[in-house]
Structures are given as C-alpha cells and as structure tokens.
A = this chain, B = another copy of it.
Amino acid sequence: MARVTITQVAAHAGVSVASASRALNGLIASPQTVAKVQHAAEELGYVADATAQSLKRGRTNQLAYAVADIGNPVYVEMMTAVERVVSASGYRLVLSSMGTLSSSVDVVRDLSRGYVDGMILSPLRVTDELLAVLAKTPVPVVVLGHLPDNRSIDNVRADSRTAMRLVVDHLVAEGRRDVTFVNGPSDTTPGAFRRDGFAAAVAAHPKILARSVEAEDFTIAAGYAAARLVLSDESRPDAIVAANDLIGIGVIRAAEDFGLSIPGDIAVTGIDNTELAGVVRPGLTSVDLGAEERGRAAAELLLQRIMDAERPAHTIAVAPSLVVRGSSLARRPDPASSPMREHTEHTDLNEEREAG
C-alpha cells in the first residue's frame, strides 16, 4: 500500500502539481481542472502527506494534552473538556501520557519539536528542570496545575487551600475532632498544595487534633494501604481527609475491613468529585475542583496564546465547591444501633446537593 503523492495525482490528471495542489485546496482553478484532479485523487486514493504539509505550512493543526496520571478519572474529565474546545476550533487533540516511562521533560522536549502547534500540560511534579524547558520551549504551552507565580507561563489551577478549608470546616461542623489527612506523595504539586492547605485549614480550629500521613500514590490501592496503617493505630481518628477520591475510596475499603461504619465510626472525604464518589457506598463527600471548567479554561488560554504569542501570561484559578454525601455526615446520637448501620442514601447519578 504505497504512498501516493500529489505528483502522481497531477500526472494522472494531466496537469502540473501546482494546479493539482490548487484544485485540491480550493484555490483558483478552472472547473475542468478541479474535476480532473478530484477524480484522479479519488481514483488513486490520494491523501496529502501530513509531514510535508506541516513542514511547508508551518503548522500541524494538532494540539497535545500531556498528562501524568491517565488512570485518574479526573484527567479524563479535563481532557474531554479540552477536546471539546480545541476540536471546535479545528484542531485535533492528541493525548500523550508521561508516566514513569518517559519523564515530563522528555515529553515536553519531544512535543516541542514541531509535532503539535501547542500543548497543555498536567505534570505531577514541577521541577526546576521542567520549568527551564518550559521557559524556552518554542511552542505555546499552558500548564494545567499549580505553577510557581510570575513564571510568565499560562496557568490554570485549582484552589487547594479553599478546598481543604471546605472539607475541614465541614467535618468540624459535623462534630469531628480528630482528623487525619491521607495525602498522596507530597513531592508532587497536588500533594504539596493539599498538605499546606490542610495545615492552614486545621490551624483555624485550634481544638481539633490533626495528623497527616502519605500514601505512595494517588490511587485506590495506595489509599487502602495507607488507611490500614492509620486505622490500626490505637488512637484512630474520627475523620479521614483523603487527598483525592481514589485514595478516599481506598480508605473506605480499609475502614470496612476494620469493621468500622462510615460515617458512624469514622468520616471520610475525598477531592475531585469524580463519578466514583457518587457510586461507592456510602457516597463519598468530595470537593469539586471544577475539572470541566479547568479543562475548558486551559484550552481557551492555549488557543489565545497561539493567536497572539505576545500577550501577557494569564493565571486562572477555579473555585472549588463542596459536595456532601453520606461518608461525612454527623455521627448521630446512636439510634439503638445495629453493628453495621444501614445507609439509606439516594444514588446521586442524576443530581447532587452542593454546598460551597
């Protein structure tokens, strides 16, 4: 299945390559030429070579979304929002994952080589090396995730501080007094910001006891493992704040293994408000960080940056909102309790109550 070039199409149609090109691109050409060329192209199954076209035109019509942790549904949610925006502007979106296999620096370097006209980056860790590469990368970049200030890089971020305040305030209001934060790795950007946010939030409540541990990862399995340690401590907390929904779900599973009722014995909260939070039982109270809105904002920032390379860098922060579900309700005055209390919770696939 050899590649057929425009030269062959031109020959087959009996015209010059220039005419063929013009006919195919809808530029000025006589109706007969257009007909001949289109027929020839059809017959030979011609498709313009993308690399040649990009080289000549200086643009690829491709944008990239590079994400560290594609296993986390929240990134899929952001990607969907990104795709909606960029494909409306005629770009195709390619997703490239920068896992353990390829470092984010490598991915950025590679993407800077001209395969894409711009990129959105969601790195888990923002190293100095990455910042250096980003600063001198020739293609437009938007970072979706917290970035040091004054970096002159377009940036869309969640508000981790407010998010942590929302959950902590909520738990305290519901009567919790001993709160443990199960973070993901704190050398990651979300890990660091949520750690600090938690510290700030609990500082506002001098009476409550606050502790922190770190899960190995922002995953269900890591949350489960970390929670087992927390719960086997002799003085276990009456609330666990998880750094994201996946960890939160792991915590719920661990609590179940320990025979603990949620929220009777212990409250649990997550962050991201993914679909999963509404699907586990009890429903996981979570902070919605506006994934959809962040994705959209990042895409729009990128499109604007492409149109005007000189515009000043923008930073957009999206406001979080608390979504309360069964996992964090007040511990009730012990209603002649059955050992495992029954949670009568309506499945919130369609609606949810918000408080923010």
Residues of A within 8 A of B (CB): 1-4, 45, 47-55, 60, 62, 64, 70-71, 73, 76, 79-80, 83-84, 87, 92-97, 99, 101-102, 109-110, 112-115, 136-138, 220-221, 224, 249-250, 253-254, 256-257, 275-276, 279-281, 309, 338, 340, 342, 346-347, 349-350
Contacts and interface: CB of A to CB of B under 8 A. Distances in A.
Given A97-B95, A138-B2, A249-B279, A347 B70 contact: no
A138 B3 contact: yes
24 contacts: A1-B136, A2-B138, A3-B138, A47-B112, A47-B138, A49-B114, A50-B113, A50-B115, A51-B60, A52-B55, A53-B113, A62-B115, A64-B94, A94-B95, A94-B96, A95-B96, A115-B115, A224-B347, A250-B349, A254-B347, A257-B347, A276-B279, A280-B281, A281-B281
Q: State the number of copies, please.
A: 2
Given A62-B115, A84-B101, A220-B349, 18 more contacts: A49-B113, A51-B52, A51-B54, A51-B55, A53-B113, A70-B79, A70-B80, A71-B73, A87-B102, A93-B96, A94-B95, A95-B95, A95-B96, A249-B279, A253-B279, A256-B281, A276-B279, A279-B280
